[in-house]
Amino acid sequence: MTDQPPAYSGPTRVLSGVQPSGALHLGNYLGALVKFARLQHEMDTFIFVADMHAITVWQDPAKLADQTREIAAAYLASGLDPAKATIFPQSAVTAHAELAWVFNCVARLGWLDRMTQFKEKSGKHKERSSVGLYTYPVLQAADILAYKATHVPVGEDQKQHLELTRDIAAKFNHDFEAPGFFPLPEPLTQGPGARVMSLRDGSAKMSKSDPSDYSRINLTDDADAISQKIRKAKTDPEPLPDNLEALAARPEADNLVGIYAALSNVTKEAALAEFAGKGFGTFKPALADLAVSVLGPVGEQMRGFLADPAEIDRILAKGAAKARETAAPTLEDVMKLVGFWRA
């Protein structure tokens, strides 16, 4: 006999979000957006623009709404379908903030003190960080649990935040004597393109904060820029090997083969079978052609959507209405469980 509380037994649901705080790149595309578009065919899917998380560091108020529209345009250009997935801005659904407050009172300081992303982002001057940056993972838990989401596609770097989300869910269920009320959501971190590295350094993640634009391919790069960045990508002089073990010892080569595989939707083994024994003089032009053929249309569609911001706004408003409706009963239950006054 165990004394485990009963597990959550509600429906499965996917939820994830991207912050509107900088240009999207190939790593975001392969690691997040393509995954979201695939999952919408498998489960009820909620994808939002994390504008409340974005303001944990300064954002220009004159630009923030357009940055939000740009992420929405990238979602749509990557194949998210507003008829299938619920697409909305986080700040348009007040349930996130309301639930985050309750969760601020559930989570323990000791839990947040362990969060490595805060330590990295706050750097040497923790006392000058916003309080929001510190409680950022608590808001993330609220994003997820307001919809009782069960599956959360995120990068490896977010696993710790998902653990915190589970800890908060379990403590809430326990403290308010509501076994199985919140699910303990699982991160979905696997898949092709899960780890796209910098084109200049195979040991660092491709990142919007890398000072070198040559380290990343932006979703808005044109064909020339994409080709040039791949041509200049760091490599070694050896031809490509015929097995994954040999490839793994060469991080830059491994990264480019991984990108090729993810963009052409084949395994790395299959990509190697095609290029084993060939040098980068052959492989890079093939990769550049592939990248241009996949990303070119994505960038073009993004620009198309952005040319009609009123349509994006209609989609976001509709998504927000659906999101509010979905979160409302959960929030009402939370208010009652906590014992807040209700008329």
Q: Which residues are catalytic?
A: 121, 205, 208
Pick from 45, 91, 135, 140 the residue near ligand TRP by CB under 6 A: 140
Residues 6+ apart with CB under 8 A from 41: 84
CB of 121 to ligand TRP, least distance (A): 10
Binding of residue 87 to ligand TRP (CB under 6 A): no
216 neighbors 206 (Cβ within 8 angstroms)? yes
* Amino acid (1-letter code) at residue 19: Q
Pick from 45, 86, 135, 158 the residue near ligand TRP by CB under 6 A: 158
Query: Among 10-18, 36-44, 269-277, 326-334, which window interacts with ligand TRP (CB under 6 A)?
Result: 10-18
Residues 6+ apart with CB under 8 A from 141: 100, 103, 107, 161, 164, 165, 168, 169
DSSP string, 8-19: P-S--EEEEEE-
Cβ atoms within 10 Å of 198's Cβ, excluding its own: 23
Pick from 51, 70, 143, 221 the residue near ligand TRP by CB under 6 A: 143
**Closer CB to ligand TRP, 71 or 257, in the complex:** 71
Bridging pattern class, strands 86-89 and 151-153: unpaired
Q: How far apart are CA 113 and CA 169, in angstroms?
A: 18
Query: Among 139-147, 207-215, 245-253, 270-278, which window interacts with ligand TRP (CB under 6 A)?
Result: 139-147
Binding of residue 68 to ligand TRP (CB under 6 A): no
Instruction: Report the candidate in 149, 115, 151, 158 with the shortest Cα–Cα distance to residue 135.
Output: 115
CB of 323 to ligand TRP, least distance (A): 13
Query: Among 152-160, 225-233, 242-250, 280-288, which window interacts with ligand TRP (CB under 6 A)?
Result: 152-160
Binding of residue 254 to ligand TRP (CB under 6 A): no
Burial class (CB in 10 A: 0-12, 13-18, 19+), 18: buried
**Closer CB to ligand TRP, 158 or 218, in the complex:** 158
158 neighbors 32 (Cβ within 8 angstroms)? no
Helix, strand or coil, per DSSP, at residue 210: coil
Binding of residue 327 to ligand TRP (CB under 6 A): no
**Closer CB to ligand TRP, 70 or 143, in the complex:** 143
Q: How far apart are CA 257 and CA 248, in angstroms?
A: 10
Pick from 26, 33, 93, 154 the residue near ligand TRP by CB under 6 A: 154
Binding of residue 91 to ligand TRP (CB under 6 A): no
Scanning residues 11 to 50, which ones bind ligand TRP (CB under 6 A)? Answer: 15-17, 19, 50
Q: How far apart are CA 87 and CA 321, in angstroms?
A: 10
Encoded tokens for 282: 């052959």
* Count of positions on this chain that bind ligand TRP (CB under 6 A): 12
Pick from 13, 25, 53, 166 the residue near ligand TRP by CB under 6 A: 53
CB of 62 to ligand TRP, least distance (A): 23
327 neighbors 88 (Cβ within 8 angstroms)? no
Query: Among 69-77, 138-146, 285-293, 326-334, which window interacts with ligand TRP (CB under 6 A)?
Result: 138-146
**Closer CB to ligand TRP, 102 or 154, in the complex:** 154
Binding site for ligand TRP (CB under 6 A): 15-17, 19, 50, 53, 140, 143-144, 152, 154, 158
